[in-house]
């Protein structure tokens, strides 16, 4: 059964109902599917994470590279531990069970991860003996509902129950409604989409000594010895002076629908489904809003290099966009970001930049490499197209090495020759589990 996207969960949980005009008689009907809330007990959520035996990848989310280890999120389940000492033969060596996990960051031997509404810190200095050193409870409580008798409301799941209503019904014309305590969603309404758009910094940002590298879809990033976390609305800042016990030093509202976070030099670039926000981060404890670059409503990863920001917008998702494009934005004046060029794409997701080359994941359309020396003609300067993979994020570890995560697995390529990427290894997803 397909899970209802979190954005819809919020709408449904608020019990909003849209009604349409009534007619005296009619013959038109609409089919609705019943959805059932899924609750998890606090005891289950807050069980102390421990290393378990390795699992096969089944529903991979975001990835994070740290000290020859690739941490791969198993969506809402936990984190795979991939020993990458030999990129030609990576080994899936373990799993950390963390209910509700989506995002990851690491520094100084400590791993930071979300667990539904909590922030968990794990000591990974001995990767064979992982221990929890801190749990900040209810940080992201606004995204979830707690009922004392049932636990934490974490999701809605479609059932096999359908009803039809005709156009004389008050709920006709609604995309969803609440009837007798049960929720129903228009069967034609597309509630699909990955969490967090899946939905961190790559190379260019300075996380301080010992920080890892995340993908462009990340909501957790480390810069200037601080951990930055976003949810749908807010930016949270944690001082990592004591890495084993992050200390909250700031929390501020950004906007509705914020999705990705990219620190670069003294700035934070925050991607939202209606624009890109730029914050001054010279004082890492107190980021200050500078400006906003507004675009059409779309899912929005951001990558910055020099004075140029690359923003991918994609359609066909919960972000309600019909655009599939790459926006190239001049951020030399951070108070006045300016659109330089817009390029049509197939279905762009995550991206990375290294030197003169731009890597863009295009979902079911694969992964593409472009030379970007002429910003006005990026699509004309495509160097490579990996057509046989389903890619949603990429990390460029060096000029010669990229990681790609997608629906069908974790890939590593030798990128020495941008015209002919060479597959080094693949860890395949097993969806039959």
What's the CA dihedral at 345, 197, 363, 34 to 10 degrees?
-120
Q: How far apart are CA 392 and CA 60, in angstroms?
A: 10
What integer pLDDT is reported at residue 13 of this predicted model? 45
Question: How does pLDDT run across 289-303, given as a tens digit for each residue?
Answer: 999 998 655 567 899
Q: Which of 45-54, 135-144, 421-430 has the lowest mean pLDDT?
A: 135-144
Question: Is residue 415 scored above 90 in pLDDT?
Answer: yes
The predicted structure's pLDDT at residue 5? 45
Q: Is 375 exposed, middle or buried (0-12, 13-18, 19+ CB in 10 A)?
A: middle
Look at residue 34 and tell me if it is in a domain: yes
User: If you average pLDDT over residues 358-372, what whole number do you get?
Assistant: 97
Q: Is residue 15 part of a domain?
A: yes
Domain assignment of residue 282, yes or no = no
DSSP H/E element including 6:
helix 6-13
Distance CA 229, CA 248 (A): 11
**Of 353, 339, 237, 246, whose CA–CA distance to 284 is shortest?**
237
165-177 residue pLDDT tens = 777 777 776 766 6
Residue 267, domain member (yes or no): no
pLDDT of res. 182: 67
Task: Give the bridge partners for 81, in sequence order.
Answer: 71, 94
CA dihedral 329, 332, 337, 341 (to 10 degrees): -20
Closest CA to 223 of 281, 271, 278, 272: 281
Encoding tokens for residue 88?
């030609």
Reported as a pLDDT band with limits 50, 70 and 90, residue 200 is: very low
Residue 1 pLDDT class (50, 70, 90 cuts):
very low
Residue 30 lies in a domain: yes
How confident is the model at residue 194, as a pLDDT? Answer: 35
In a domain, 12, yes or no: yes
- Rounded CA-CA distance 189/193 in Å is 12
At 11 the three-state DSSP class reads: helix
* Mean pLDDT within 187-197: 43
Asked whether residue 264 carries a pLDDT value surpassing 60, the answer given is yes
Taking phi first (over 0 means left), then psi (-120 to 50 degrees means alpha), and beta for anything else, what does residue 404 get? beta
Q: 50 to each of 46, 73, 152, 358, how far by Cα in Å?
A: 12, 15, 22, 38
Tell me the per-residue pLDDT of 219-241, one tens digit each, with 9 for 90 and over. 999 999 999 999 989 999 999 99
Statement: residue 205 has pLDDT above 50: no
Asked if the structure places residue 178 within a domain, the reply is yes
Read off the pLDDT band of 4 (50, 70, 90): very low
Domain that holds residue 25: 6-41+143-186
Comparison of pLDDT for 364 and 318, the residue scoring more: 364
DSSP 382: E
Per-residue confidence at 185, pLDDT binned at 50, 70, 90? confident
Count of domains observed in the chain: 1
Distance CA 246, CA 132 (A): 12
Q: Is 224 helix (H, G, I), strand (E, B) or coil?
A: coil
CA angle (209, 211, 214) in 5-degree steps: 150
State the pLDDT at residue 18: 40
In a domain, 135, yes or no: no
**Mean pLDDT along residues 97-121:** 96
């Amino acid at each position: 059964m397909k899970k209802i996207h979190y954005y819809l969960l919020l709408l449904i949980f608020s019990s909003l109902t849209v009604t349409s005009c009534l007619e005296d008689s009619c013959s038109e009907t609409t089919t609705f599917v019943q959805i059932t809330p899924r609750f998890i007990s606090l005891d289950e959520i807050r069980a102390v994470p421990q290393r378990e035996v390795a699992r096969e990848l089944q529903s991979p989310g975001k990835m994070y590279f740290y000290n020859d280890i690739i941490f791969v999120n198993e969506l809402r389940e936990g984190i795979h531990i991939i020993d990458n000492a030999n990129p030609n033969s990576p080994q899936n060596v373990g799993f950390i069970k963390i209910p509700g996990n989506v995002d990851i960051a690491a520094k100084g031997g400590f791993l930071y991860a979300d667990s539904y509404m909590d922030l968990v810190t794990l000591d990974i200095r001995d990767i064979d003996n992982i221990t929890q050193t801190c749990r900040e409870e209810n940080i992201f409580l606004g995204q979830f509902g707690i009922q004392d008798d049932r636990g934490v409301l974490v999701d809605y799941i479609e059932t096999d129950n359908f009803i039809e209503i005709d156009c004389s019904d008050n709920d006709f014309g609604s995309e969803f409604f609440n009837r007798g305590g049960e929720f129903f969603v228009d069967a034609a309404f597309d509630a699909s989409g990955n969490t967090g758009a899946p939905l961190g910094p790559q190379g260019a940002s300075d996380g301080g000594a010992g920080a890892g590298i995340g993908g462009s879809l990340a909501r957790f990033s480390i810069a200037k010895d601080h951990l930055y976390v976003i949810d749908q609305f807010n930016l949270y800042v944690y001082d990592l002076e004591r890495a084993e016990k992050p200390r909250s030093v700031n929390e501020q509202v950004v906007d509705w629908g914020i999705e990705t976070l990219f620190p670069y030099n003294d700035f934070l670039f925050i991607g939202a489904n209606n624009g890109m926000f730029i914050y001054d981060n010279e004082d890492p404890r107190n980021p200050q809003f500078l400006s906003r670059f507004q675009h059409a409503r779309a899912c929005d990863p951001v990558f910055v290099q020099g004075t140029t920001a690359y923003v991918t917008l994609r359609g066909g998702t919960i972000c309600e966009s019909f655009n599939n494009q790459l926006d190239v934005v001049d951020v030399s004046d951070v108070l006045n970001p300016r659109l330089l060029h817009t390029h049509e794409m197939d279905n762009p997701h995550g991206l990375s930049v290294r030197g003169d080359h731009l890597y863009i994941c295009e979902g079911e359309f694969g992964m593409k490499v472009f030379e970007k020396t002429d910003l006005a003609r990026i699509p004309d300067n495509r160097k490579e197209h990996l057509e046989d993979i389903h890619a949603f994020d990429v990390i460029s570890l060096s000029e010669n090495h990229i990681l790609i995560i997608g629906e069908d697995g974790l890939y590593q390529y030798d990128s020495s020759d941008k015209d002919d990427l060479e597959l080094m290894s693949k860890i395949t997803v097993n969806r039959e589990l």
